[in-house]
Structure 1
Amino acid sequence: KTTDILVQAQICAALNRHVIDVTTPNVGLQDWSNSAEYYQQSPCNHYAKFWDQQGISVDQLAYGFPYDDVFEYSSSVHTPSPSRVVVSFGPYTDGGGNDNDEDITGMGGNLSVQFTDSPAGEGFANLIDNDAATKYLTFNSSAWVQFQANNAYSLSSYSITSANDAPQRDPLNWNLQGSNDGVNWTALDVRSGVDFPSRQQKQTFQVAANSAFTYFRFNLTNNSGSILQLAEIELFGEGSSSGFSQTIQAENYSSMSGVQLENGAGAEADQNVGYIDTNDWMAFNSINIPNSGNYTVSYRVASEGSGGELSLDVNGGANVLGYRTVPGTGGWYNWTTVSHTIYIEAGTYNFGIFAQTGGWNLDSWTISLASGASAQSAATAFNSENSMLEIAEISLSPNPAKSQLQIDFTAEHANLTLLNAHGRLMESTSNVPSGSLLSISHLKKGLYFLQVEIDGKVTVKHFIKE
């Protein structure tokens, strides 16, 4: 009877995880213990797949169906003499750092390697695809791997996951460096003689307190032979608290078309830019953005009429960064602040403010590193979803999705903001028409929230990236 129950449990788990191969000569002799093969194709238990995926549950362990603990896959905690338990609610940090740590490699950025001689399907993009079943392989015994983040981070820990076979190809020795220009490097951590006794094994390493960096580079050497391979790298740390912020007075434009200067009144009696009509513009040259990332752009505006709309661009209007509605304020000198969040790479730019619709004045504008975007975005996302605000019928399909996601709604256009599972702002797009196909192929697997703004009202939809 005990043997029957054991076999029944294994068959039940294998069916839910879709690992039974009925084409083998002896169906009764199979190994169903390799977790890398779970949920790889349909039909499978998509509910359990959702909760078992990394980024949703700690260590990819959850209980999605009866016998989901088969083959040491239990999400339970066992102790022979329990005395107390402490339960924490909120995001966890896989690197063992403090509560403010973020998954840096999960926030978007640029990955590069020294050698691109990999066989098909084993390229360097696999290093941050959140899938231990894939790997990066190079026919060199030593190589560097570099990740450029979208913001500066102080690294607290990192992890490396071994590949599926050939232990001699595992990294044995390495050093990790940080940089803010990709040229001058600072040593962050050095390891030697590291052993990965298991395949697809993740090991996490702590890093001493350090400055914030944008570039991170691993210089790796294998165990033996002429091939180096690894499955995953992850970086964990806290975003830089030293926020960049620059305010530009509107009258200090470098060039313009159509607008006029005028003297203000009241508390803000300095000069401002007025007589702004549709298609007028102002250019502000040589503004330096120190780090790639998300920035909040705020505008001091006033309008005696019904307001209008502005857009922010670079490169003479070739690249529009975002749009913002200007409200009516009841007077040409009744100033208010409106803002939006943009993403921009580090560099020096000539910014342009363009009047999509005129009828407003501009006193100044400010661009600041959006250091608080994570918490604010998370609060906005969950508050919006919990309020069940029905502003328009919105659908996302397919969901889950792998490379593209179609969004449909009853309005003509919407502003979209993408957040990851921790509420971190990933990217934003304005004036997206209904029926658009959104590319999500660059995202890591996991849960995401999409804020949809229509006519100034926001609702939130979630989707799963497979």
Structure 2
Amino acid sequence: MIDQPVCPPITTLISLDSIDGAVYGIHGTKINQDSQASQPGLLSGHYPTDHSPANACDGATSTKYLNFGRCPEYIDDITCGLDTGFYLELKRGASLVTGLQICTANDFPERDPLTVSMEGSNQSGASLNLGSSWTLIYNGPSGLQTNPGRLTCGIMQLMNNSIQYKSYRFLVSSKRGYGNSVQYSEVKLFGY
């Protein structure tokens, strides 16, 4: 009997349509900590109205999500935009995520995320604000370590995850350089 090679499972792109039509922007949030809500605006903890978190999940690299994090619009620093991201509850229900891919935005490579995390939850609604609701499934490189250019997707990052979750939280913990924010055009999840 000849052993057949084991092939990795084929993964498909998971729709990031949310159950309530909302993607919730967050700032000042670390892995396993409570989420701090971001709002539209140009101050610390905010994102510009036309660069909302929903843009990271709309399937179009022509839009982007930008978050200032702990900085206002007029400050450039290596920490601006860190500990920001978003969360959502999938309209399709529980899904097994085994990979993620991040796409760059239209300008300023120094805003590209370099270290990211993905957490999963089977909670809903206000419970998703609680850090205790989330389970870490990935913490590592974004796939953008080598600048791929603007409006371009980086290398898919695989994760060792065997649990289906209905909600996902994405966070950025480092970026390429000095700037006033973190930005990306898309976060793509792959799995089943």
Amino acid at match of 2:94: A
| Count, aligned residues | 142
Is 1:154 aligned to residue 66 of structure 2?
no
* 1:232 and 2:186 are equivalent in the alignment: yes
Displacement of 1:153: 1.0
Question: What SS is found at the alignment partner of 1:134?
Answer: coil
Residue 112 of structure 1 and its aligned partner are, at CA, apart by 0.9
The corresponding residue for 1:210 is 162
Whether the 8 Å contact between 1:132 and 1:231 is mirrored in structure 2 is yes
Q: Which residue of 2 aligns with 1:187?
A: 136
Query: Counterparts of 1:391-430 in structure 2 under 5 Å?
Result: none
- What's the CA shift for 1:236? 2.1
Measured after TM superposition, the shift of residue 137 of structure 1 is 1.0
Aligned to 1:259: none
Distance 2:161 2:10 in 1: 12
> Greater relative contact order (Cα 8 A, min sep 6): structure 1 or 2?
2
Distance in 1 (CA, whole Å) between partners of 2:190 and 2:172 is: 19
Percent identical residues: 24
**Equivalences for residues 326-405 of structure 1 within 5 A:** none
User: Could you tell me which residue of structure 1 aligns to residue 151 of structure 2?
Assistant: 200
* TM-score, normalization by structure 2: 0.65
Tell me whether 1:105 sits opposite 2:16 in the alignment: yes
Q: How does 1:72-151 map to 2 (within 5 A)?
A: 98=10, 101-106=12-17, 110-114=22-26, 115-116=38-39, 117-140=46-69, 141-142=81-82, 143-150=84-91, 151=93
> How big is the shift at 1:210?
1.9
Amino acid at match of 1:139: F
| Alignment TM-score, normalising by the size of structure 1 | 0.28
Q: Deviations over 1:297-337 (max 9, x none)?
A: xxxxxxxxxxxxxxxxxxxxxxxxxxxxxxxxxxxxxxxxx
**Corresponding residue for residue 116 of structure 2:** 174
Q: Check the 8 A contact 2:99/2:189 in 1, yes or no.
A: yes
The answer on whether the counterparts of 1:171 and 1:230 sit within 8 Å (CA) in structure 2 is: yes
Counterpart amino acid of 1:154? L
- Residue identity opposite 2:25 in structure 1: V
Deviation at 1:125, TM superposition (A): 1.8
More strand by share: 1
Cα distance, 1:224 vs structure 2: 2.8
Q: Give the letter for the 2:59 counterpart.
A: N
What is the CA-CA distance between 1:113 and the residue it aligns to?
A: 1.0
Structure 1 gap ranges (5+): 1-95, 239-466
What is the CA distance between 1:106 and its match in structure 2? 4.7
Partners of 1:200 and 1:102 in 2: how far apart?
A: 18
Per-residue CA shift, 1:106-163, capped at 9, x if unaligned? 5766411112322242122211221111111111221021121131111121221110
Q: Residues 192, 130 of structure 1: CA spacing in aligned structure 2 closer, same or farther, 3 A cutoff? A: closer
Are the equivalent residues in 2 in contact too, given 1:179–1:185 (CA < 8 A)? Answer: yes
Question: Is the 1:159–1:234 contact (alpha carbons within 8 Å) kept by the matching residues of 2?
Answer: yes
Q: Where do 5+ consecutive residues of structure 2 fail to align?
A: 1-7, 27-37, 40-45, 70-80
Which residue is 2:172 aligned to? Answer: 220
CA contact (8 A) 1:97 1:157 kept: no
Asked which structure has the greater CA Rg, the reply is 1
Q: 2:171, 2:58 → 1: CA distance?
A: 20
Distance of 1:107 and 1:152 partners within structure 2: 12
> Helix, strand or coil: the match of 1:168?
helix
Please, what is the CA RMSD of the aligned residues? 2.3
Q: Is the 8 A contact 1:174 1:190 kept in 2?
A: yes
